[in-house]
Amino acid sequence: MAYSLDSLLIHGGIDGDKVTGAVNVPIYQTSTYKQSELGVNTGWEYSRTGNPTRAALEKLIADLEGGEFGLAFASGLAAIHTVLSLFQAGDRIIISDNIYGGTFRILDKVFKPLGLQYVITDTTDAAKIEAAIDSNTKAIYIETPANPLLSVTDIAETAKIARKAGALLIVDNTFLTPYLQRPLTLGADIVVHSGTKYLGGHSDTISGLVALRDAKIAERLYFLQNAIGGVLSPFDSFLTIRGIKTLGVRMDRHVANATKIAEWLQQSGYVKKVYYPGLPSDPGYAVQKKQADGPGAMISFVLKDEFDYRAFFRNLRLITLAESLGGVESLVCHPASMTHASIPADIRQKTGIVDELIRFSVGIENVDDLIEDLRGAIEASRR
Ligand SMILES: *Cc1c(COP(=O)(O)O)cnc(C)c1O
């Protein structure tokens, strides 16, 4: 019988330990494995190549995303590095115009000097993607909702365009997780994650994950994972598995809190603009509703000019000013100087990542406490 996602979160992948009956997969804290004679081992050789705790997480992310293959890395960017290593000098990748700053940085500062081209386009508009495609285009790389403006790209439609062009569709699914959105089932070829965020869920681990269906691409990725070596440690694999067990209940609360806060912000009179695909007024609302089971819990907003955003950050009590997102605790950040500082100022302005933009990762605290904290900090920031 095929289990529902709620059950897979807890029992998917490798469920417990067959040898001892331990209900949790043990932390196999070992670098190497005994060979009984030359060339004869138990299937495990060396922990960069494979480790049972990491393998349990890799199987789990594959199950959750509706994929066949999973890979776990030491960070989201290590995962992205390995996926981008599928391409060669002369290849071209189309990327969304708002995308995680580190993803842009690795493309611009690491892969571009090696000859891999990228072109930035508004992927919420299918015609613009089609216009950006040329004979060297090997991939379309999107986030949806994207970081930090929460713009929504139609995954199924983009997958069709990619297939027609003979290009891969790569989706960074960090913001929604497979609990809310499963890009492989909508036609994407590769899903990447920063497991650091909602999957780990407790702001205590850095990890990256990949899931896919195609055996040939998977074989190449396993080769690259071992060859480049940015693998996730056994302990961090354990922590990520542990985080995933509660993903469903956490996401339900995250989304409920975020929905209430986005609605409050919108009618508060404090803001010029709220970006949240769960608001019916948001341009991404319809596509979001069609392709995902919820809008997630990332909100971005711009305060009216009578409020000073620096003072707002200073006056928060419960909500923490910090990089990262997706943990149980509420975090705010200033994309222009923090997560997206690596994107040139002119590109930031053009795409809407203005200096006044505030990004809010809504945690699972009491929602009224969060609203009171926002109200207090905004009032205290009045010029
Ligand atoms: C954080 C993040 C990454 C990078 O992941 P790390 O685990 O920090 O390396 C990639 N994509 C998105 C959408 C992110 O939020």
Atom 6 of ligand 1, nearest CA residue: 76
143 lines ligand 1 (CB under 6 A): yes
**Which ligand 1 atom sits nearest the alpha carbon of residue 103?**
10
Counting ligand 1 atoms within 8 A of each CB, the residue from 80, 196, 361 with the most, and so the one to mutate, is 196
Ligand 1 lined by 102 (C-beta under 6 Å)? yes
Q: Answer whether 199's CB lies under 8 Å from 240's CB.
A: yes
Give the span between the Cα atoms of 318 and 336, in whole angstroms. Answer: 22
Share of the chain above pLDDT 90, in %: 91
**Domain final residue, candidates 228, 245, 262:** 245
* CATH number of the domain that residue 299 is part of: 3.90.1150.10
For the CA of 174, the closest atom of ligand 1 is: 13
Domain end position, chosen among 245, 265, 290: 245
3-state class (DSSP) for residue 151? coil
pLDDT at 109 over 70: yes
Average pLDDT, the chain: 96
- Mutating to test ligand 1, I would choose from 75, 81, 83, 194 the residue with most ligand atoms within 8 A of its C-beta, which is 194
* Terminal alpha carbon distance of the chain: 61
Nearest to 296 by CA among 264, 250, 352, 239: 250
The residue out of 245, 271, 298 marking a domain boundary is 245
Centre of ligand 1 from the C-alpha of residue 352, in Å: 20
Which active-site residues does the annotation give? 48, 100, 172, 197
Whose Cα sits closest to atom 12 in ligand 1? 100
Q: Is residue 75 lining ligand 1, measured as CB closer than 6 Å? A: yes
Sheet of 190-194, strand order: 69-73, 208-212, 190-194, 168-172, 137-143, 92-96, 117-121
Q: Are residues 43 and 117 in the same domain?
A: yes
- The atom of ligand 1 lying closest to the CA of 102 is 4
Q: Distance, CA 119 to ligand 1 centroid (Å)?
A: 20
353 residue type, one letter: I
Q: 46 has which bridge partners?
A: 32
Distance 33 CA to ligand 1 centre (A): 32
Q: Are residues 324 and 368 in the same domain?
A: yes
Confidence of residue 97 (pLDDT cuts 50, 70, 90): confident
Asked whether residue 251 falls in the same domain as residue 221, the answer is: no
Total domains in the chain come to 2
Residue nearest atom 7 of ligand 1, based on CA coordinates:
76
pLDDT at 348: 83
Helix (H, G, I), strand (E, B) or coil at 307: strand
- Name which residue sits closest to atom 4 of ligand 1, judged by CA: 76
How many residues are present in the chain? 383
Q: How far apart are CA 369 and CA 280, in angstroms?
A: 25
**pLDDT tens for each residue of 140-166:** 999 999 988 999 999 999 999 999 999
> Is the pLDDT assigned to residue 6 strictly greater than 70?
yes
Q: What is the rounded average pLDDT of the residues 97-101?
A: 87
59: domain CATH number is: 3.40.640.10
Q: Cα separation of 159 and 327, whole Å?
A: 30
pLDDT at 21 > cutoff 90: yes
Residue 98 CB–ligand 1 contact under 6 Å: no
Q: Over the stretch 159-210, which tens digit does the pLDDT of each residue have?
A: 999 999 999 999 999 999 999 999 999 999 999 999 999 999 999 999 999 9
pLDDT, tens digit, 9 for 90 and up, residues 58-92: 999 999 999 999 999 999 999 999 999 999 999 99
Residue partners of 4: CB distance under 8 A and separation at least 6: none
Instruction: Give the closest residue (by CA) to ligand 1 atom 1.
Output: 194
Range of the domain at 221: 5-245
Above 80 in pLDDT, residue 2?
A: no
Which ligand 1 atom sits nearest the alpha carbon of residue 147? 13
Is the same domain home to 251 and 341? yes
CB-based burial, 331-367: b 16+ in 10 Å, e otherwise: bbbbbbebbbeebeeeebeebbbeebbbbbbbbbbeb
Averaged pLDDT, 248-252: 98
Q: Does the pLDDT value for residue 1 go beyond 70? A: no
The verdict on the CB of residue 147 being under 6 Å from ligand 1 is: yes
CA of 103 to the centre of ligand 1 (A): 8
Q: What's the pLDDT at 316? A: 98
pLDDT of 251: 98
Residues 76 and 159 in one domain: yes
Contact call for residues 263 and 280 (beta carbons, < 8 A): no
252 and 239 share one domain: no
Give the pLDDT confidence of 27-40 residue by residue, as tens digits.
999 999 999 999 89
Are both 88 and 231 inside the same structural domain?
Answer: yes
Considering the domain architecture, whether residues 143 and 218 belong to the same structural domain is answered as yes
305: confidence class by pLDDT, cuts 50, 70, 90: very high
If asked whether residues 161 and 253 sit together in one domain, one would say no
CB atoms within 10 A of CB 223: 12
- Does this model's pTM top 0.75? yes
CB burial class (10 A; 0-12, 13-18, 19+) of residue 254?
Answer: buried
